[in-house]
Amino acid sequence: MKLTLAEAAVGASAVLEAPPTIVNAGAITIQGYSIDSRTLGPGELFFAVRGERFDGHDFVAAAVERGAVGAVVSRARVAGLPESALAVPLLIAEEPLVALQGLASHVRRRWGKRLVSVTGSAGKTTTKEAIAAALGAGLNVHKSKGNLNNEFGLPMQLLRLEPEHDIAVVEMGMNHIGEIAALARIAQPDWGVVTNVGTAHIENFTDGQIGIARAKFELVASLPATGVAFLNCDDAFVSQFGRDFAGRVVYFGAGPCADPQILSVTEDLEGLHIRYRARDEEGSLRLRLLGAHNAQNAMAGLAVALEAGVDRQAAAAALESLTAGDKRGQVLEIAGATILNDSYNSNPEALRSMIRTLAARPAQRRILVAGEMLELGEQGQALHAECGKAAAEAKLDLVIGVRGNARHLAAAACLAGVAALFLESAEDAGHWMKANLQPGDVVLLKGSRGVRLERALEILTAPSPEAP
């Protein structure tokens, strides 16, 4: 949303100070917002936020050089800024991140329309995309980009709200208790969607999945009594969230309480064929996404669209246009082998689902390349081993564990009778694939973000050095 510097100062609870060479600085219109001086565009307002490994105040001068219209800085750091950073108006606050979040809340209130927030241990981004697609069949939708769902990314997405948007869909992530509640105070959601409660980030919760469930419930608890909670009725934790919510509850999934309800799901090489019932009408749709779990994500999208008044058939048709995001279930053909690239992230529940998808595909060999799943704490070894057993039960031909605790996944698969090996890095996996993949092989790549399994693909697809 375009604001003047004076309006932004009010929303951010900051004091506007401008050099004497700039007359009527408060009337200058901001063209956009940035927390990264490297990607900042001309006319944007730069927030000098601080993170674990950086301090935005070190880059104010660079932002000014790139055309920043102003900068939000900490009062304690003004005196230390270089002279070149003082050539633009400054919005002086106690803490730039708090100012960013405050301005985002201000913009959200000023926009004043319905906002939908999505959370869950897995499937948040795909569900957000499904909701946005289904809503887009009848409404002008603002959706957050990618998976920008934390204390930095969410406010930046709210600042992109425009008067012409009818409805907004954003994503909320968390690593600890209280984080979703804090994000909800910023975004003020009217409707909330919870996909599932799994084991992602379980190392941060002394009470395990119960603690994760409490953290996810913070979204439902933040909704007004006039709001709507959309809950996965097939998840043992999420299905109970409606009991303590005073507003309207809509369930989605395959269970008898769901509306929309999944009647059947079949998976083929092109994706999913879903039969469903919604508001006493049956329908079907083709989803160009891998993994039967995506049927639930699609039903979440349909549920929100129907509640918003979008025509059912139009919403279903829009869902059929969904495609896999980068490193999120992409199907790649490389030298006669098929790569299921789901390397963006991983957790035990999502990995087991994709193992079933791999097992269902016709292939010369079905190969799992599983990167370590991070933030599982003391349960890490056991959860990796369970996934190794699942790979063996699915009768895969080869299991490759990559890095850290993935050695326990490979070991469990081996003990259960499946050929397995362990590699130390994504680069090692790439070199193994380049040397050993055969035409007709189908390979699933899946691992936590920190493993960077996409490096294996880069090595696999890199030209081989020519012989001398």
pLDDT of residue 467: 42
Provide mean pLDDT across the span 352-378: 94
Phi/psi at 91 (5° precision): -100, 110
pLDDT of residue 146: 77
How far apart are the C-alpha atoms of 253 and 263, rounded to whole Å? 9
DSSP state of 299: H
pLDDT of residue 328: 83
pLDDT of residue 465: 66
How far apart are the C-alpha atoms of 285 and 139, rounded to whole Å? 20
pLDDT of residue 42: 97
Torsion angle defined by CA atoms of residues 244, 250, 254 and 256, in that order, rounded to the nearest 10 degrees:
80
Do 334 and 461 meet the contact criterion of CB atoms below 8 Å apart?
yes
Q: How many CB atoms lie within 10 A of CB 323?
A: 12
Q: How confident is the model at residue 466 (pLDDT cuts 50, 70, 90)?
A: low
pLDDT digits over 19-48, tens only? 999 999 999 999 999 999 999 999 999 999
Q: Is the pLDDT at 179 greater than 90, yes or no?
A: yes
- What is the CB-side half-sphere exposure of residue 54 using CA atoms within 13 A? 12
Q: Report the number of secondary-structure helices (H) and strands (E) in the chain.
A: 14, 20
Calculate the average pLDDT of the chain: 95
Contacts of 245 (CB under 8 A, 6+ apart): 220, 221, 223, 229
Do 425 and 402 meet the contact criterion of CB atoms below 8 Å apart?
yes
Tokens matching residue 180: 């979703």
How far apart are the C-alpha atoms of 220 and 222, rounded to whole Å? 5
| Angle, CA of 438, 444 and 447, to the nearest 5° | 135
pLDDT digits over 246-299, tens only? 999 999 999 999 999 999 999 888 899 999 999 999 999 999 998 889 999 999
How far is the CA of 340 from the CAs of 197, 333, 441, in angstroms? 25, 9, 11
Q: Which domains does the chain have, with CATH numbers?
A: 5-99 (3.40.1390.10), 112-319 (3.40.1190.10), 330-461 (3.90.190.20)
pLDDT digits over 327-339, tens only? 888 899 999 999 9
Tokens matching residue 327: 């490193």
